[in-house]
Each structure stands twice: as structure tokens, then as C-alpha cells.
Amino acid sequence: MRMGLKIKDALKIFPELQKYIKNGKLDFSNREARILYNKAVVKAVFGIEIEYHPKGLITPPISRYIFLKTFLRGGEKVLEIGTGHSALMAIIAAKLFNCEVWATEISEEFFEYAKRNIERNKVQVKLIKSRGEIIKGLIPEGETFDVIFSAPPYYEKPTKGVLTAIEAVGGGKYGEEFSLRLLKESMDYLTPGGKVSLFLPDKAPLLNVVTEEGEKMGYKVRDIKFKAGTRIRHSLIFTI
């Protein structure tokens, strides 16, 4: 699979990107430019059509695919916690990895966008609206999954307009609170040998506390570090 997309090829898909090109380079500081370019990447590389919420996080599609590739082999029953407005990882898991996908979302607006994106791409994803629950009280007892995964919020306090509070604030000293609650609740919903996978930034204090607390819960932890563009990301994989 070809990873990434040259600007000239993105222009063929969305000619309106031309107005965001300066000195031969795309102005990625412009939100509309990032949206159009990412839509072009998703369409050209994955054959997926995505509508982005005007205020939601615009995530690099390739980094999400690489993350999924670190733990999916194909055909698993999976649960994504917080699929976001794009529902991109849920759609990729269903379309490219042939998984049985369940996904949750707490924001009403993001939920509606996710629903439309799922329908637009004609994939089977069981989308569930959260009211603040992570897993317990939301996913029926007795349901189990081969993998539970998430790109959890990881800031300890609100950011300066970069993300919405729901997308950003994980709570705790290092932004770890949401991730640890997810790990704890996951234990009752995993198949034997099942795993939890978290997409996290290259923040050592956060990674260390999530790893240490996960091990205390009884998980074996594997950290797969990868680079997407200029940024380093981590796939923390917790196995029972």
C-alpha cells in the first residue's frame, strides 16, 4: 500500500488546494488546507470518503493506519472507545482489516458526523452513543472483544484552542486518568489473550505512568514506537 500522498496528486483530487500553496509548499497551518489534504489522502490511499467536523481534531490518516497495523491481523472483534467525528479508525478496521467493529462516541455532534461517515463508506460498524461512560454501563455485560483500542485524550488540562475539551483532557497529573480507567474497565470485556491498544504521544511521564499502572493491573505491556510525518507516536499494547 502506498503511504502518503504527494501534493501534486492531492491537487488532482481537490484542485481548490492550490490557493493554500505558497512557494511550492502546502500551508499546513491553515485548517481548511489540512482538511482537504487529509480527505485527499484518505480517498487516494484507503478509498474512504470522510467528512470532517469544522471544529474537530484533524488527525493524520497514515498515523492512524500504522497504529492499527501494530495490533490488528484481520477478522478480530474490536471495540473503539471515542471514534471521533471522522470515525476513521473504525472504518479502516472494518474495511481494510475485515473486523467486526463496535465504536463509541460521547459528543452529540461528533456522533452524527461519525454515523454519516460510516454510512457513506458502506461499512458495518455498531456505533454507540456514550453519556460519559467508557465501557461499563455502556457495553452490555457478556460482550467480549479481541481488541479494545483508543486514541485517548492525554492532556492534563485544557489546551489553547487546539482540541475540544472532550478530545484533549485525559485528567490526572500527566493526562493518564482516562487511559487508566479504560484499562481497568477493559479487563471484564476482553477475550482470553485479548489486548488493549492505546495511541499516545511521545510524552515520557505519561507513557511511564500508564505502563506502570497497567502492569500493576496485571497486563503485559509492549510499546511500539513509530514515526508519522515529523512526529513520534506510541502504540502501547496491553495483553492479559
Whole-number average pLDDT of the chain: 91
Instruction: Report helix, strand or coil for 114.
Output: helix
pLDDT band at 175 (very low <50, low <70, confident <90, very high): confident
C-alpha cell at 79: 471495540
- In angstroms, the CA 163 to CA 157 distance is 11
Condensed to tens digits (0 to 9), the pLDDT of residues 36-88 reads: 999 999 999 999 999 999 888 888 899 999 999 999 999 999 999 999 999 99
> By mean pLDDT, which of 18-27, 47-56, 116-125, 170-179 is the weakest?
170-179
Global confidence as pTM: 0.92
| Contact criterion met (CB below 8 Å) for 191 and 146 | yes
pLDDT band at 169 (very low <50, low <70, confident <90, very high): very low
pLDDT band at 151 (very low <50, low <70, confident <90, very high): very high
Domain 61-239: give its CATH superfamily. Answer: Vaccinia Virus protein VP39 (3.40.50.150)
What mean pLDDT comes out for the span 123-151? 97
C-alpha cell at 1: 500500500
Q: Where in the chain is the domain with CATH 3.40.50.150?
A: 61-239
Condensed to tens digits (0 to 9), the pLDDT of residues 88-113 reads: 999 999 999 999 999 999 999 999 99
| Contact criterion met (CB below 8 Å) for 86 and 113 | yes
